[in-house]
């Protein structure tokens, strides 16, 4: 298969491109500096530029497209709603139209943040209520992609892993601060279902192989508070969990509204694939194994 991954220098895009390239021919779009890897074909492109998307698709000629590129910094989206809409709503819509016309299969990566988090335990049939510019533009992107390309997979996700900068996931935040013996906050009133990025990549690939389409929650089958997640991570790495101070979200002084209870059901995905996504301890074990293998140093070295 020929697979195009947009946003191939991001946390999900890079890890997915590296993993999938072992079995398929992969093209990955990068906006800035090229990565130091020959594992996949890099295509430098600003997908918002006129003609850029068409040129990338012509070069890659993909069978499958995984659209990971997004404006994901929640507070940055709040500061620039127009740009957030261009990246998170308009871009994936145009991509969905082009991919649909060309006959390739598309995975559009969305977010659990489309829900307000007031009650949790959300299924795909539940009505979203986004609280931030980021969440509103991602929800708009979902709906426009579905209208433009009904065969597309729309995956609502929440994930963590080792990234190019070492600063792209909550797990890295906890790990690097605790490793340096720094005190950090852990929210006791914010719940989520974080999936290790390599496990997410494998699930997305299986969804394409199984020829699924439509909306799916692709998250860990088990929920946790962000405080509990930090404590479990600390214990697995032999770090001092006492450095994590239990705190409330209201104490953080964040600009954009955050949803407190983003617990999502994965029954639909489990039914379609015949297997449930990994639980929290399994994901953290995979994250720890990657650390033992020297993967954080390897992946950060790709950008140096």
- Across 151-159, average pLDDT: 98
Q: What is the pLDDT of residue 255?
A: 62
Pairing of β 191-192 and β 153-157: unpaired
pLDDT digits 0-9 by tens, 11-45: 999 999 999 999 999 999 999 879 999 999 999 99
- Across 121-126, average pLDDT: 98
Phi/psi at 129 (nearest 5 deg)? -150, 80
Instruction: Out of 3.40.50.720, 3.40.50.920, 3.30.1490.190, 3.30.470.30, select the CATH number for domain 2-301.
Output: 3.40.50.720
Q: Are 48 and 86 in contact (CB under 8 A)?
A: yes
Q: Are 12 and 156 in contact (CB under 8 A)?
A: no
Is the pLDDT at 70 greater than 80? The verdict is yes
Q: Are 106 and 63 in contact (CB under 8 A)?
A: no
Q: What is the pLDDT of residue 256?
A: 67
Question: What DSSP element (H or E) covers 272?
Answer: helix 267-273
Q: What is the pLDDT of residue 258?
A: 78
Q: What is the pLDDT of residue 197?
A: 98
Q: Are 4 and 12 in contact (CB under 8 A)?
A: no
- Across 263-272, average pLDDT: 98
CA nearest neighbour of 81 among 253, 250, 256, 259: 256
Q: What is the pLDDT of residue 250?
A: 80
pLDDT digits 0-9 by tens, 104-114: 999 999 999 99
Query: What DSSP character marks residue 278?
Result: P
Is the pLDDT at 299 greater than 70? The verdict is yes
Q: What is the pLDDT of residue 33?
A: 78
- Quickly state the pLDDT bin for 304 (edges 50, 70, 90): confident
- Across 194-202, average pLDDT: 98
Percent of the chain residues topping a pLDDT of 70: 99
Mean pLDDT across the chain: 96
pLDDT digits 0-9 by tens, 229-249: 999 999 999 999 999 999 998
């Amino acid at each position: 298969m020929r697979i195009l991954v947009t946003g191939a220098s991001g946390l999900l895009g890079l890890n997915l491109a590296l993993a999938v390239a072992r079995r398929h021919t992969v093209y990955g779009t990068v906006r800035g500096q090229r990565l130091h890897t020959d594992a996949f074909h890099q295509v430098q492109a600003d997908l918002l530029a006129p003609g850029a998307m068409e040129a990338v698709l012509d070069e890659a000629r993909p069978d499958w497209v995984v659209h990971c590129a997004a404006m994901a910094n929640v507070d940055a989206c709040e500061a620039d709603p127009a740009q957030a809409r261009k990246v998170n709503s308009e871009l994936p819509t145009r991509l969905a139209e082009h991919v649909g016309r060309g006959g390739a299969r598309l995975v559009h990566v969305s977010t659990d943040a489309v829900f307000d988090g007031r009650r949790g335990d959300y299924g795909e049939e539940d009505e979203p209520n986004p609280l931030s510019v980021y969440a509103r533009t991602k929800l708009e992107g979902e709906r426009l992609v579905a209208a433009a390309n009904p065969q597309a997979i729309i995956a609502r996700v929440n994930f963590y892993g080792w990234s190019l900068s070492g600063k792209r996931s909550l797990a890295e935040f906890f790990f690097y601060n605790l490793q340096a013996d720094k005190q950090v906050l852990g929210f006791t009133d914010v719940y989520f279902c974080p999936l290790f990025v390599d496990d997410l990549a494998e699930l997305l690939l299986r969804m394409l192989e199984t020829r699924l389409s439509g909306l799916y929650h692709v998250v860990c089958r088990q929920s946790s508070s962000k405080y509990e997640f930090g404590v479990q991570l600390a214990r697995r790495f032999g770090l001092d969990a006492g450095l994590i101070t239990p705190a409330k979200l209201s104490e953080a002084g964040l600009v954009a509204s955050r949803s407190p209870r983003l617990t999502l059901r994965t029954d639909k995905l489990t039914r379609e694939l015949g297997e449930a996504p990994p639980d929290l301890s399994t994901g953290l074990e995979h994250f720890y194994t990657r650390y033992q293998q020297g993967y954080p140093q390897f992946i950060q070295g790709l950008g140096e």
